[in-house]
Chains A and B, each alone.
Chain A
Amino acid sequence: EIVLTQSPGTLSLSPGERATLSCRASQSVSSSYLAWYQQKPGQAPRLLIYGASSRATGIPDRFSGSGSGTDFTLTISRLEPEDFAVYYCQQYGRSPPTFGQGTKVDIK
């Protein structure tokens, strides 16, 4: 199975700052089938990005995704208070679908 490694484990930033989250795959992710989810405490995950760079319905344009092959990035251009959460990358190009271990973005 494809192992996804996210870095850093925790990112401490202030509102208004830029957040850059990394996701590295153990094998190439076919057709850029890479997604990003946001999860807040006590809530279910929410789909943010799919196909490495396409925003899901209703997702603000401050969220952007990039990358291909084995290296992917989620960027939040200017952090809003509601963006402090845990972010997971997920590959769905090869079965089984697998998730990274998560990056927590917390308030500095």
Chain B
Amino acid sequence: EVRLLESGGGLVHPGGSLRLSCAASGFTFSSYAMSWVRQAPGKGLEWVSAISGSGGSTYYADSVKGRFTISRDNSKDTLYLQMNSLRAEDTAVYYCAKDTKGGTLGLFDYWGQGSLVTVSS
């Protein structure tokens, strides 16, 4: 059974930093690209960032480019999102999502339960 378990969310002040983790199980983690997708309270879904299965290619939404860094540790089956210079508009539930391919296709067949990040003073 595929499982994705996010952690690391919480309350942070504007300008602060936070690192999200997503522990994966039930599939060969290194064979699949992974993404982070966020959802602001009461709003729709927004793709944030993606990383290929090998970790050699990364992609970012313009809204987070230069502030967020996606990475993965295939020896630990874990995905990360380092978030710096956080803004109020980054407040959202952050989901990790498994791609259907090793390269980043952008089609997500499994999602974690989400981790809430709140940016507020």
Where the two chains meet, the residues of A that have a C-beta atom closer than 8 Å to any C-beta of B are 33, 35, 37, 43-47, 50, 56-57, 88, 90, 92, 95-102
Contact = CB atoms under 8 A, between A and B. Distances in A.
Counting chain B residues whose Cβ lies within 8 A of the other chain, the interface size class is: 10 to 19
B44 A45 contact: no
Interface string B40-69: 000011110000000000010100000000
Contacts of B111: 44-46
Contact of A98 (B47, B59, B112): B47
Contact of A56 (B95, B105, B109, B112): B109
A26 B59 CA distance: 22
Most chain A beta-carbon neighbours within 10 Å: one of B109, B112, B113: B109
A44 B59 contact: no
Contacts of B88: none
B108 A47 contact: yes
Interface of B: 35, 44-47, 59, 61, 95, 100, 104-109, 111-114
B44 A99 contact: yes
B18 to A, nearest CB: 20
Given A44-B114, A45-B111, A46-B111, A92 B105 contact: yes
Interface of A is mostly: loop
A108 B46 CA distance: 29
B44 to A, nearest CB: 5
A33 B107 contact: yes
Given A44-B112, A44-B113, A96-B59, A35 B46 contact: no
A45 to B, nearest CB: 6
B47 A97 contact: yes
A45 B61 CA distance: 20
Contacts of B45: 37, 45, 88, 90, 99, 102
